């Protein structure tokens, strides 16, 4: 059956006082609310946090824009934050993604060249008999001295390999390997549980390259453990009754590839604003400018107002700005529906300055669902709204998973979102004559 949608005129939007568009917007702001989408929560009487939250600004964007739901990768596919953001930026993860490691490396300041192997890492705590007793070393912060000691003390020269090890946020870090004959098809030494020793890294495909890389990683882990055991930072933590960072757990191996620069691909300049090194690494890999904001943490206490203020400043000189806000994802992973609801309300207050933005298409979406009942990412489609000059509005009045599903965008893949926005600023390329 043929289905069509009626797009009402702006007079149907009681809070929308702008005149009819007389120009085409020139800039794009992507506001990615990490993991904000959910499923019905028993704790919330069968509703989602987005349905329950008081969010007048998000709902106003829904009333004044065009809404839909989005499969970031595809129906039934659970997206990672890495593959999701690649898709949102128009880089098909099926082509560009080899693993999270290289992107984490870029995000912590390691300049990755094509062919380098990258890993995401955790500092962890081992017991005296070598068992993992805390995979996050008490959620340690400020590990720069520990990383510097590892960078200085580990020696991989016998393998003909150069390495780069840098701290990320909190207990996180990243490792990059550079040399001839390295592969990325290797396992992790992270047992993903406590009470057992770190695993031995092995080659997944038993090629010479992968076998060599596995040996390099095992030697790196052995030497790093010895260095950390005697480090003054860890001695002090033990005195304070805190878990020391006595091991490095590695996972997410990948080989750095070539990313066509964002400015070449789309003919526009861009910036990325985020707390997570992963998202920063993706932005840097495709040529976006990373912009620092004081006080951003990626958690409930992040400086959201600062992110929005910096985003507005970036729009003065850049054509495209991506802002990632992550705290709701944490609540989803922890199964805290009421906390997630409260953080949505915090986001809503912080984004109020966007309500008066001119000359800009604003896109608000999630990168994936993180249901509190699952405590992990799911394949559920996420809500999306596009707002700004030239947008054909629909009848949706609330920003949530159920309401947006009734919108004029229908159900779209994540790879379509940026092309739609580019068309709205008249920067899409014509297909055909």
CA–CA separation, 71 and 369 (whole Å): 10
**Joined tokens for residue 179:** 């040399």
φ, ψ (nearest 5 deg) of residue 386 = -120, 130
Judge residue 262's burial from the number of C-beta atoms within 10 Å of its C-beta, 0-12 exposed, 13-18 middle, 19 or more buried.
Answer: buried
User: What pLDDT was estimated at residue 299?
Assistant: 86
CB of 169 within 8 A of CB of 297? Answer: yes
Q: What is the pLDDT of residue 169?
A: 84
pLDDT per residue as tens digits for the range 342-401: 999 999 999 999 999 999 999 999 999 999 999 999 999 999 999 999 999 999 999 999
Tokens of 303: 């400086």
Determine the pLDDT at residue 9. Answer: 33
Note the pLDDT of residue 24. Answer: 84
- Total-model pTM: 0.88
Q: What count of residues does the chain have?
A: 433
State the residue for tokens 């009819």. 20
pLDDT at 17: 40
CA max distance for the chain: 73
Looking at residue 356, its pLDDT comes to 94
**Extended beta strands in 217-369, E state:** 247-255, 270-273, 289-290, 320-325, 360-365
State the Cα–Cα distance between residues 248 and 194, nearest whole angstrom: 14
Find the Cα–Cα–Cα–Cα dihedral 100, 102, 108, 109, rounded to 10°.
-160
Using an 8 Å Cβ cutoff, are 239 and 400 in contact?
A: no
Give CA–CA dist 84/93, Å, rounded.
8
Please tell me the predicted confidence (pLDDT) of residue 13: 37
- How many CB atoms sit inside 10 A of residue 312's CB? 16
Q: Rg of the chain over CA atoms, in angstroms?
A: 23
Which pLDDT score is estimated for 23? 67
Query: Which residues does the chain have with pLDDT short of 50?
Result: 1-22
* Domain residue extents for the chain: 11-98+259-424, 110-255
Helix (H, G, I), strand (E, B) or coil at 400: coil
Long-range Cβ contact pairs of 94-98 (< 8 A, separation 24 or more): 96/257, 96/259, 97/254, 98/184, 98/254, 98/255, 98/256, 98/257
Question: With b meaning 16 or more CB within 10 Å and e meaning fewer, what string describes 145-168?
Answer: ebbebbeeebebeebebebbbbbb
What is the number of other CB atoms lying within 10 angstroms of the CB of residue 271?
21
What is the CATH number assigned to the segment(s) 11-98+259-424?
3.40.720.10
pLDDT of residue 297: 85
- Burial (0-12, 13-18, 19+ Cβ within 10 Å), 342: middle
């Amino acid at each position: 059956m043929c289905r069509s949608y009626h797009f009402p005129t702006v007079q149907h939007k009681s809070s929308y006082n702008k005149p009819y568009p007389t120009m085409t917007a020139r800039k794009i702001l992507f506001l990615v609310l990490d993991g904000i989408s959910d499923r019905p929560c028993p704790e919330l009487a069968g509703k989602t946090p987005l349905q329950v939250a008081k969010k007048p600004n998000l709902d106003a964007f829904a009333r004044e824009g065009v809404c839909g739901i989005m499969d970031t990768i595809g129906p039934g596919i659970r997206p990672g934050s890495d593959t999701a953001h690649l898709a949102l930026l128009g880089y098909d993860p099926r082509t560009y993604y080899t693993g999270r490691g290289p992107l984490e490396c870029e995000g912590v300041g390691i300049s990755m060249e094509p062919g380098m192997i990258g890993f995401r890492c955790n500092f962890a705590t081992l017991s005296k008999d070598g068992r993992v007793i805390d995979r996050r070393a008490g959620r340690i912060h400020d590990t720069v001295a520990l990383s510097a000691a590892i960078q200085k003390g580990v020696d991989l020269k016998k393998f003909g390999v150069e390495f780069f090890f840098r701290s990320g946020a909190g207990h996180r870090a990243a490792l990059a390997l550079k040399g001839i004959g390295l592969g990325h098809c290797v396992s992790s030494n992270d047992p993903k549980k406590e009470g057992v020793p770190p695993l031995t890294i092995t080659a997944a495909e038993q090629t010479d390259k992968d076998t060599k890389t596995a040996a390099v990683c095992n030697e790196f882990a052995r030497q790093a453990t010895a260095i950390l055991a005697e480090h003054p930072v860890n001695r002090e933590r033990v005195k304070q009754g805190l878990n020391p960072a006595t091991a490095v757990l590695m996972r997410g191996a990948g080989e750095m590839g070539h990313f066509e620069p964002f400015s070449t691909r789309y003919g526009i300049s861009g910036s990325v604003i985020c707390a997570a090194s992963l998202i920063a690494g993706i932005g840097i890999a495709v040529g976006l400018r990373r912009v620092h904001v004081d006080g951003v943490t990626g958690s409930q206490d992040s400086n959201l107002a600062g992110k929005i203020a910096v985003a507005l400043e970036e729009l003065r000189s850049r054509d495209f700005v991506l802002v990632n806000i992550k705290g709701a994802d944490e609540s989803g992973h922890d199964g805290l529906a009421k906390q997630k609801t409260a953080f949505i309300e915090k986001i809503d207050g912080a984004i109020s300055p966007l309500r008066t933005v001119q000359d800009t298409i604003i896109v608000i979406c999630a990168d994936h669902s993180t249901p509190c009942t699952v405590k992990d990412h799911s394949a559920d489609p996420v809500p999306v709204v596009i707002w700004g000059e030239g947008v054909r509005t629909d009848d949706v009045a609330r920003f949530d998973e159920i309401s947006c599903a009734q919108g004029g965008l229908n159900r779209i893949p994540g790879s379509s979102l940026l092309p739609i926005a580019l068309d709205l600023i008249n920067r899409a390329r014509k297909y055909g004559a």
